């Protein structure tokens, strides 16, 4: 196993697509690989859980469906912004790299802290627990079965990603195809065999603005993960052309899947049934095919969770790798193995933190909505900063032509920033105490940025 330290990029330099040096990330990802990763991350457990909470915060069937389409449109706007950033500044560090170039080292390090403690490792652990809960229902392993399944899944998919980039990408393609076909099967069955119930009035659920805000927080969380493509830009072939293709195609696929499956949920359960269902996919199939369908739904959620986990481990480790190149204290994780074309130490560090979270969460687990509240404010705060960085970098490098250009500039990035600002506000104003905990963890990372003032170690 040959690990090579990569020379650090001087601050303020411009990144161009050049042949990879030995031991550096290689441009090996095709458009299909990128789409499989992105769709696999996004179409995960959320679509089997959030429709109920969204239904509780809308007034009609039309509003329910319309909000999901609005979510797709907002995601597409963000995709255009990231397509330009990724094609102009391809880098394994993704958003960390954009923030560092535009807003400085300290902001980038605070983002790294947030991603390591709130966003990425927490997402891996949460998805692992969802897999564990459903796998425990299929084949029980005793009182600690869910935690054992969760930890086992992290270990297995860590090993897969350590094996090789190609191995991980191939498995991801299989998982993504299966998940798409399964969601289409649910949508097709519900639309073809369901009987539309009579519309019902909305319950008294607070202010209209609050309901809209919470609904959009949840919907855009369900669309969340599309920004992970930023961490693939350093390994994507012909990144200037393929980055926008991956993003636009993936968002179109995801929006179509969400639109169709939510129509199917409505057609079988109705809005009232959606509001009363904790497991909308299971209730939909059970109403159509009887109680035996519960096993099929459990297996589907397991596959979707594993798909998300594999892709999240793959993309998430890229930030650890970039951080290792930046901070002398973490230098060992800033190594890239030539044989596997993977940041092996970064993958190990990321999975170790996720396993610690699984151990701590084995005794007590928070609910799904509490996890949304914990992550959403931090996520939207930094996505807003990425939007601000877009304007700074576009102005600074406006003469460059080697990039995809976001259409309708400056309207597109302005809408992206306004959306992020509103969702940041909504994720604090219309949620519970979990949001304050997430913000507290972010602020606790302020001392972490002091590491960024240490002199860079010679390559």
- Preceding peptide of 301 cis, ω within 30°: no
Sign of the dihedral through C-alpha 104, 110, 116, 120: negative
Tens of pLDDT along 394-420? Answer: 999 877 777 789 999 999 999 999 999
Residue 311 confidence (pLDDT): 93
Helix ranges, 223-343 (H):
239-276, 280-289, 293-326
Q: What is the pLDDT of residue 12?
A: 42
Distance CA 327, CA 454 (A): 7
Domain locations along the chain? 30-111+163-307+370-453
CA distance 143 to 362: 10
Q: Are 157 and 350 in contact (CB under 8 A)?
A: no
DSSP-assigned states of every residue in 110-169: HHHHHIIIIIHHHHHHHHHHHHHHHHHHHS---TTHHHHHHHHHHHHHHHHHHH-HHHHH
Question: What pLDDT sits at residue 199?
Answer: 55
Q: Please report which confidence band the pLDDT of residue 197 belongs to, taking 50, 70 and 90 as the band edges.
A: low
Closest CA to 382 of 116, 69, 70: 116
Helix (H, G, I), strand (E, B) or coil at 213: helix
In the chain, the N- to C-terminal Cα span, in Å, equals: 20
**pLDDT exceeds cutoff 50 at 2:** no
Tell me 236's DSSP state: B
The predicted pLDDT at position 21 comes to 45
Return the pLDDT at 9.
Answer: 43
CA–CA gap between residue 271 and residue 198 (Å, rounded)? 9
* Position with higher pLDDT, 207 vs 164: 164
Stronger pLDDT, 323 or 381, i.e. the higher one: 381
Stated as kind and residue range, the H or E segment containing 348 is helix 344-361
CATH H superfamily, domain 30-111+163-307+370-453: Amino acid/polyamine transporter I (1.20.1740.10)
Tell me the C-alpha distance between 94 and 106, whole Å: 16
Q: Would you say residue 458 has pLDDT above 50?
A: no
Tens-digit pLDDT profile for residues 25-53: 788 899 999 999 999 999 977 888 789 88
pLDDT band (50, 70, 90) for residue 122: confident
Give the three-state DSSP class for 439. Answer: helix
What's the CA angle centered on 70, arms 207 and 42, to 5 degrees?
A: 110
- Answer whether 324's CB lies under 8 Å from 345's CB: yes
- CA–CA gap between residue 341 and residue 345 (Å, rounded): 12
pLDDT of amino acid 179? 92
Q: Among 356, 416, 425, 362, which residue's Cα sits nearest to residue 389?
A: 416
pLDDT at 278: 77
For residue 8, the 8-state DSSP code is P
Mean pLDDT of 300-309: 91
The DSSP secondary structure of 35-59, one letter per residue, reads: HHHHHHHHSSSGGGTHHHHHHTT-S
- Residue 350 tokens read as 């990321």
Sign of the Cα pseudo-torsion (155, 160, 164, 169, in order): negative
Least confident of 7-21, 36-50, 230-244, 357-371: 7-21
Tell me the two tokens of residue 120. 């990425």
Task: Express as a percent the part of the chain with pLDDT over 70.
Answer: 86
Least confident of 262-276, 312-326, 444-458: 444-458
What are 95-116's pLDDT values in tens digits? 999 999 999 988 999 999 888 8
Least confident of 77-91, 263-277, 280-294: 280-294
pLDDT at 19: 45
Considering the chain, what is the average pLDDT of its residues? Answer: 83
Band of pLDDT at residue 208, cut at 50, 70 and 90? low
326-334's contacts with Cβ under 8 Å and 24+ in sequence apart are: 326/8, 326/105, 326/109, 326/452, 326/456, 327/451, 327/452, 327/454, 328/454, 328/455, 328/456, 328/457, 329/451, 329/454, 331/5, 331/457, 334/5, 334/6
């Amino acid at each position: 196993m040959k690990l090579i330290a990569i020379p650090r990029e001087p601050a303020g330099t411009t990144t161009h697509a050049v042949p990879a040096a030995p031991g550096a990330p290689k441009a090996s990802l095709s458009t299909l690989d990128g789409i499989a990763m992105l769709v696999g991350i996004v179409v995960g457990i959320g679509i089997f859980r959030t429709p109920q909470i969204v239904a509780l915060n809308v007034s009609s069937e039309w509003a329910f469906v319309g909000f999901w389409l609005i979510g797709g449109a907002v995601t597409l706007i963000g995709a255009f912004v990231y397509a330009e950033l990724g094609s102009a500044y391809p880098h394994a560090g993704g958003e960390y790299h954009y923030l560092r170039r535009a807003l400085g080292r300290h902001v980038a390090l605070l983002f790294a802290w947030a991603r390591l403690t709130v966003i990425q490792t927490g997402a891996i652990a949460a998805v692992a627990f969802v897999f564990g809960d459903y796998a425990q229902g299929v084949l029980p392993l005793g009182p600690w079965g869910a935690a054992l399944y969760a930890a086992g899944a992290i270990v297995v998919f860590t090993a897969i990603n350590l094996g090789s980039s190609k191995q991980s990408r191939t498995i991801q393609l299989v998982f993504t195809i299966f998940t798409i076909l399964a969601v289409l099967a649910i949508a097709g069955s519900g639309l073809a065999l369901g009987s539309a119930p009579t519309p019902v009035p909305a319950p008294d659920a607070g202010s209209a603005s609050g309901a809209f805000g919470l609904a959009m927080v949840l919907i855009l969380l369900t669309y969340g993960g599309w920004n992970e493509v930023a961490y693939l830009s350093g390994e994507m072939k012909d990144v200037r052309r393929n980055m926008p293709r991956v993003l636009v195609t993936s968002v179109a696929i995801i929006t179509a899947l969400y639109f169709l499956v939510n129509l199917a949920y409505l057609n079988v359960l109705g809005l009232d049934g959606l509001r009363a269902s904790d497991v909308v996919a299971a209730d939909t199939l059970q109403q159509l095919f009887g109680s035996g369908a519960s096993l099929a739904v459990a297996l589907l959620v397991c596959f979707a969770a594993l798909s998300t986990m594999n892709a999240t481990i793959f993309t998430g480790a890229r930030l650890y790798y970039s951080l290792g190149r930046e901070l002398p204290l973490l230098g060992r994780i800033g190594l890239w193995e030539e044989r596997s074309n993977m940041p092996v130490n970064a993958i190990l560090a990321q999975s170790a933190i996720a396993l610690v979270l699984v151990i701590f969460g084995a005794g007590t687990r928070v609910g799904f909505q509490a996890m949304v509240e914990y992550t959403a404010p931090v996520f939207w705060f930094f996505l807003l900063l990425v939007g601000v960085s877009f304007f700074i970098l576009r102005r600074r490098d406006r003469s460059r032509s080697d990039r995809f250009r976001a259409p309708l500039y400056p309207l597109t990035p302005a809408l992206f920033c306004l959306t992020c600002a509103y969702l940041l506000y909504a994720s604090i104003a219309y949620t519970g105490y979990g949001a304050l905990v997430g913000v507290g963890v972010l602020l606790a990372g302020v001392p972490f940025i002091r590491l960024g003032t240490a002199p860079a170690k010679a390559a």
